[in-house]
Structures are given as C-alpha cells and as structure tokens.
Chains A and B, each alone.
Chain A
C-alpha cells in the first residue's frame, strides 16, 4: 500500500510539475526595449513620455484619440451635452474594474480629473471653465461649466502627456505635486511593482479582468485586448548597437524606436520588420528666447525663420528619405488643424530673403547662443544645421555643446545668454503635443507662464481663448489658422520639419497599434 501511495503521489507531483512547466512554456512574454528609462511612475506628476507610456499600460482613459486624430469614447459608454453647452453628463461602461477588484466609479473619475487638471497644460485651461464636478450615480459623472468650452472631449481624450488617466479616488486624492505611491489602474496590464528594478526592468502582466471595447484598436481607442501574458521592458539595454544585435539574435522582440543609422542595415535583415506605428510622428522646432537680444526683436526672429530650410535640417538629422517630411504648419502635418496659412515666411523663403530681412531688422551682430545636446541622437545635429543656416543669413553664432540634461536645466533660465541663459534651442515633440492651439507649447503667448522662450503676445492669447470657447468646428479651424498666422508673424518658434520613428520587431510579432504613442495592446507574438 505504501508503495502504491508513494507511486501515486510521485506521479501526481510529476504531473503537477509537467503542468506547471507547460504553463510556463505557454506564457507569452514580450521583451522590448523602450525608447528611454522609466523613473517616475506617476504619469500626472511628470510630462516624461516614458511615464505616459507606463500610464497607458496600467490605466485607462475616458476618451481616446484614434489614428486619424479623432476623439472616441473609451471608458465612457455614452454622454450628453446640454443645449447651452454648460452641463456634460457621462456614463461609464459596465464592468470596469480596477486591478484591486474595486469597480470604477464616477467619484474615481472626478478625483482623477481634478488632480490631472492641476498639472496638465490643457487640463489647467479646462479647469478655468469647470464650475464643479459630481458623481450622481456610481457609473455617472457630470461636469458643470461656467461657460461653453470647445475642447472638453479633446482634453479628456488627449493622447499625450499629461494624459487624464483614471485612478482609484484614494490614489487620485494625492496632492498633484506629490508622486503617487500605489500604481493601480483599470487598464489592460497590471504593473508588477515587486519586479520593478529602476534602470533594469519593468514588468507588466495581462489584466484578466480588463473589459475591452468591441471596436478594433486604433490609437488610444478601441479594443485594448492583450494577447501576451507578460511584457518586460528591458530598461538596462541602452546601447543602440547591442539592442540591434539582441533583436537579431531573438533575445528581445522589439525596439520601440530604432536609431536612424540602424535603419538601412535592419531593412536588409529578413528576420526583422520595421513598423511605422506612429505615422503622425514628431515635429522638430527651433525655439527662440524672446527675452534677450537678438531674438527679442521680431524682425530678427522672422529673419531666422526665413533662413531655416526644413529640408536641410531633415537631410542632416534623419537622412532616410521616407522617414521625414517638410511641413509648412505649426500644427503637425496630417492632423486636423494642419494648415499652410501664414507660413510663407518660411515655406516660400530663401537665403537671400533671410539676409534681406536680417538687414532690415537692424541686427547689431549680437552672438546667438544655441544649445546643443550632444547625447540625444534624434536631435543632436539640428543645432549645427541651424547655426550654419544662421551664419549664411548673416548671424554671429555660438553653438554650445552639452548633455541633454544640462540643456533641459539651462533652457529654464531667464538670464541673459552670457550669464548662463540662451537664445535658441531645438527639440522634438510628438504630434499630439503640437496638433491644436491649446496643446501646442510653441503658440502659448502667456509671457512668464508660457513655455520656455516666454513669448508675450496678447493677440495670441486672445485667439487661444477664442479657440477654447468655440464649440463650432469650422470656427475652430478658422481660429487655428489665424493663430498660426500670428505665430509666424511674431516668430514664436520655427517648425523645422517632421519625422517618424519606426519600431523594429522580429518577424512573428504583429498587431502593433497605429497611433500617436507606444502602445502594447493588440500585439501578438507567434
């Protein structure tokens, strides 16, 4: 008997081991290299894109933006707008649940929107319209506005930082200027806090309770169905060359953004596929410091814009023809408000015109200090191209090389350039950060409160206010055109071209969602 019992127990143990081994073998793990390091786990506290991407893994949003930049409901099932446009009532979808098993309620939404609107630029504008919010039923929340607002849905469905992610009330009640400690959402993945090693790895597992929408995935809208059991962000793998070799060898499945110099060799590799998952891509801009000479003179700024030939920037920085495009708009091309109106100063300009404009401006030879971040491969050539074009136009230029973080700190300084300040820097923004007048950092003319460069223009602010108040789409487009024309007229900044950054995946990894960001739902791994 003892022998039979032992044999039975042994067989059972063996079966259990086999079953667990099979389960492990069936676990689909997607190993991927994100575009940067993940440090801040609170996507409301920072505008860092990595924190935003982390947010999309674990949280869901009320509305989303599809690949054609259209706002669609996500957690929201239905909504109504009162005839006077001042009361918005939203009903949540059935079955929405946080990772801790608690249902998503209107109170969670109200607390989340309140916290988000204290940090996000668009949220702050929306907050000026909101008189109060409440949750009359567990699945309902209402927004009472002081006056009609033309961008309620655009704000709630904005796809880029800061995204209005919905968190449990107890977490969303955290002071907006303090980072949250708990990371519980109702999104498609669950964050494995115990496996998170900053700078090494971040792990997410499939949320079995997630209730996807029926519509196909598109941008941040539609079904967020997950087809892998686990996603591992390999944060330690930062060396571009090693990333590519690891992908070729199959140690990782995906590189979120491939360095441009690796595009050509990867295209020749039959085991790898390059996917343009974000066709709207990024917009490059050159930002002037409006506080100090010579760019405190509008004519000098316009001369610089006239000198900035977009093709020159893009050829030098990207080099791969099908990955870049010139764009005569301050709103990202291919999106709703993109227009060439008012852009003639740049789009129909040439170096002779720039030289003439500079002469007219009375430019006195003040040196232009350009900040050059040497360690960011996607933008580090722009300052050199900009400097050369400015020199050809007749400017005196000093390109100061530094690491990105030094530049980020320095560009917040309002001191004169010879006392640690600056005149010009170049950077890139993802399309949603530039695609409408409220989100567009460059077109904010609110002086001290504007984004770095601090343009101060009452007309710009008046037009932005008109846009915010307008509920008519045709009128909004008209205002957006006027705003852009004003932007070029006073030279808020110079758009210097656009690009897309493809992801590289191994053959067998498919279903990458197209849209403005890096999303991990819908991905299948054979």
Chain B
C-alpha cells in the first residue's frame, strides 16, 4: 500500500502545478485592478499607477509568473496585497474556524444521515422512507442562506438559545466554541444529511437483496445485526465515497455559511480576497483547497481497504 500512497502523493504535484498556473492566469485575465481598489475611491490615475508599480503589477505577466513561481518553490505564498500580511499567516489565522465548522458539520451529517438511510432502506416504501425522501428533496432545495436566516430567527432571536453570529476559539472554552458552531453546522449539514442519507438508503437497499443477507437472516441473526454488520458494512464503500466528496464540497459550502454567521474562516477570506482582487491570497487559498481535495480523495481510496478487504493497492 505504501507505494500506492507514494504514487498518489506524487500525483498531487502535477495537479497542484496545473491548478496554480490556471489560477494565476485566470486572475490576471479577470477584470478589476487591485491597485485601484487599494487606492480608494478618490485616488487619481497617477496615484493608482504608483501603487500598481509597488505591487509589481506593472511588470509583464511572464515576469510576474516567474517571480511567483520562484516564491512558490521556496515555500512562500507571497504577501497579501490587501491585508499586507504573509498569505501563510493569513491562512493560519483563518483555518481553525473553517476546520472546526467542517468537522462539526460532517460529524452531525454522518451521525444523522447514516442511521436514517439504513432505517429508510429497512422500511423501504414505509412512512419513514417517504419522510426521508421528502426531507432529502427539501434539503437539496432550500438555499443555505434561507435556512440560516430561519434558524437564526427562531433559535437565536425568538428562543434566545444560541448566539446569532461570531466564532469562539476552542482555546477560549469548549462550551462557547460549541455554542457558536451549532447553528452554522446544522445549517451546513442539512444538504449533506440529505445527500448521505439518500446514498446510504440506496446502497443498503442494494445489499439487502443479496444472498448473504438472506443467509444471515436464515441463521437467525437479529435484524439490527443483519442491518449493521452485514448490510451496512457491505454498503460502506459508496457511503465513504459520498462522505469524502461531501468533505471536499464543504469547502465551497462554508463560503455562504461563514458570511451569514460572521465566522472569520477561509470561506470569508476567499470572498474578501476575490472582492479585493488580492491575487496572492486567492492563489494561496485555492492551492490549499486543491491540496485538501486531493488528500481527502486519497483518504477515501485508502478507506476502501478497511471496508472491503478484497480491495488491494
């Protein structure tokens, strides 16, 4: 397996290189001038030109690319145009809230969706199954920000149970940390609950028709044991795949959630960086997202070995 892991990790290098080049070129082709944004509304053309020169944006694109490549190869993501900080420091400041939000969201999604999916498959065609399917459609259809506003209005404003916005670091205490993450995580998890529950239901439904399930039941095993040990275990590969995909998709999902709940994470940083045409920050964050995506996919592939011993790399 080690050679497989090494090969996959090595394969991330060309992927990241392609992403890096594409992002660099796309940003330079996008309309918008970081110097004009930094200079403010009242600046004249001469002042903007001086700022542009200060940022190195007056150089040709190949020269800018060569400089950036040199920085990248030495492990330096550059300095944010907008925030005047090292991009690595900026990402370091913002990564905890995003990781925390993603982790709590995935935990909620998996804990709710997998049992629901298994139960729906078990009671295929029954009220639970229909209710779950209905919930899935709703979960997919309701935009994240609408759900966020409803939850804020009901849970925070009317009931006063949880804070409306903000983030507390885990170092400031676990309870405040959790209180600030519950609503954003529920908001974000709904769509993943819908997705994972549907896939779980379909996968378990497939396995419930297999001969070994009939054999297990014939042996007199309890229904719960049949469902968990035999049906769910054999349906795990597609479920793990969709959870992995969910983690990767979460990176995109946090943008809206972080904005509505005022969580200073990578999603909000991406929005700010894009709005300010902060090229170094956008490049840094996208590279991080790409690397995370590749890494999560690798972990999902490796998890197949655990769920299905027949799989060998």
B33 at the interface (CB under 8 A from A): yes
Please determine whether B149 and A241 come into contact, CB atoms closer than 8 angstroms: yes
The answer to whether A177 touches B82 (Cβ under 8 A) is no
Is B226 in the interface zone, CB < 8 Å from A? no
B-side contacts of A411, CB under 8 Å: 36
Q: Which residue in B31, B44, B259, B272 is a CB contact (below 8 Å) of A402?
A: B31
Q: Which residues of B contact A429 (CB under 8 A)?
A: 41-42
Asked whether B36 lies within 8 Å of A242 as measured between CB atoms, the reply is no
Tell me the interface secondary structure of chain A in the complex: loop
A39 and B40 form a contact (CB under 8 A): no
Assess whether B212 is interfacial by the CB under 8 Å rule. no
Q: How many residues of B contact A (CB 8 A)?
A: 50
Q: Find residues 83-134 in chain A having any chain B CB closer than 8 Å to their own CB.
A: 119, 121
Chain B, 41-98, CB within 8 A of any chain A CB:
41-48, 50-51, 54, 80, 82-85, 90, 93-94
Are A121 and B42 in touch, CB under 8 angstroms?
yes
Q: Give the segment of A53-61, A244-252, A307-315 that binds chain B.
A: A244-252
B264: chain A residues within 8 A (beta carbon)? 197, 199-201, 235-236
Question: With A248-B157, A405-B277, A406-B32 in contact, is A242–B42 under 8 Å at CB?
Answer: no
Assess the A51–B40 pair: CB atoms within 8 A. Answer: yes
Within 8 A of B (CB), among A293-336: none
- A161, B40: Cα distance in complex, Å: 9
Most chain A CB within a 10 A radius of its CB, from B41, B43, B260, B276: B41
Confirm or deny: B228 has a beta carbon within 8 angstroms of a beta carbon on chain A: no
| Chain A residues closer than 8 Å to B41, beta-carbon distance | 47-49, 408, 427, 429
Please tell me if the beta carbons of B165 and A246 are within 8 angstroms of each other in the complex.
yes
Q: Which of A50-81 contact B (CB under 8 A)?
A: 51
Q: Which residue of A lies closest to B272 (CB)?
A: A199
Q: Interface readout for A207-238 with B: 1 if CB under 8 Å, 0 if not?
A: 00000000000000000000000000011111
In the complex, the answer to whether A242 meets B45 with C-beta atoms within 8 Å is no
B227 close to A (CB within 8 Å): no
Whether A412 pairs with B48 at a CB distance below 8 angstroms is yes
Report if A472 contacts B (CB, 8 A). no
Q: How far does the alpha carbon of A10 sit from the alpha carbon of B143 in the complex, in Å? A: 56
Tell me whether A451 is interfacial, beta carbon within 8 Å. Answer: yes
* Chain B neighbourhood of A179, CB < 8 A: 84
Contact in complex: A242, B165 (CB < 8 Å): yes
Instruction: Tell me whether B259 and A238 are in contact (CB under 8 A).
Output: yes
| Chain B, range 82-140, C-beta contacts under 8 Å to A | 82-85, 90, 93-94
Assess A409 versus B277: contact at CB under 8 Å? Given A161-B40, A242-B152.
Answer: yes
Decide if A152 is an interface residue (CB 8 Å cutoff): no
Interface residue? B19 (CB, 8 A) = no
Known: A249-B160, A410-B31. A450 touches B42 (CB 8 A): no
Contacts A39-B82, A251-B164 given: A234-B262 contact, CB under 8 Å?
yes
A183-206 toward B: CB 8 Å interface, digit per residue (1/0)?
000000000000001111100000
**Range class of the A interface residue count:** 35 or more
Contacts A37-B272, A40-B38, A236-B268 given; indicate if A242 touches B262 (C-beta within 8 A).
yes
Instruction: Report the number of A-B residue pairs with Cβ-Cβ less than 8 Å.
Output: 144
The closest CB in chain A to the CB of B277 belongs to A405
- Contact, CB under 8 Å: A239 / B262: yes
Q: Is A433 an interface residue (CB 8 A)?
A: yes
* Contact in complex: A451, B83 (CB < 8 Å): no
Mark each residue of chain B from 241 to 273: 1 if its CB lies under 8 Å from any CB of chain A, else 0: 000000000000000000111111000110010
CA distance A198 to B262 in the complex (A): 13
A415 is an interface residue with CB less than 8 A from chain B? no
CB distance from A370 to the nearest CB of B (A): 16
Complex CA distance for A39 and B38, rounded to whole angstroms: 9
A364 within 8 Å of B (CB atoms): no
Does residue B156 face the partner (Cβ distance < 8 Å to A)?
yes
Q: Bound complex: CA of A458 vs CA of B261, how far in Å?
A: 53
Query: Is B153 part of the binding interface, using a Cβ–Cβ cutoff of 8 Å?
Result: yes
Which chain B positions have C-beta within 8 A of A405? 32, 37, 275-277
Determine if A348 is an interface residue (Cβ-Cβ < 8 Å). Answer: no
Contact of A471 with B by CB under 8 A: no
For the complex with contacts A179-B84, A236-B264, 7 further pairs of A-B residues with Cβ separation under 8 Å are A39-B38, A39-B84, A46-B39, A201-B264, A236-B268, A403-B275, A406-B31
Q: List the 4 shortest-distance A-B pairs measured between CB atoms, nearest first.
A: A409-B33, A47-B40, A200-B264, A237-B262
Give B contacts to A, CB under 8 Å: 31-33, 36-48, 50-51, 54, 80, 82-85, 90, 93-94, 149, 152-153, 156-157, 160, 163-167, 259-264, 268-269, 272, 275-277
25 contacts between A and B (CB under 8 A): A39-B83, A41-B84, A46-B43, A47-B39, A47-B43, A48-B40, A161-B40, A197-B264, A198-B80, A199-B268, A200-B94, A236-B262, A236-B263, A238-B259, A238-B262, A241-B260, A242-B262, A245-B156, A245-B164, A406-B32, A408-B41, A410-B33, A412-B48, A433-B42, A448-B45
Residues of A within 8 A of B (CB): 37, 39-41, 46-49, 51, 119, 121, 161, 177-179, 197-201, 234-239, 241-242, 245-246, 248-249, 251, 375, 402-406, 408-412, 414, 420, 427, 429, 433, 441, 448-452
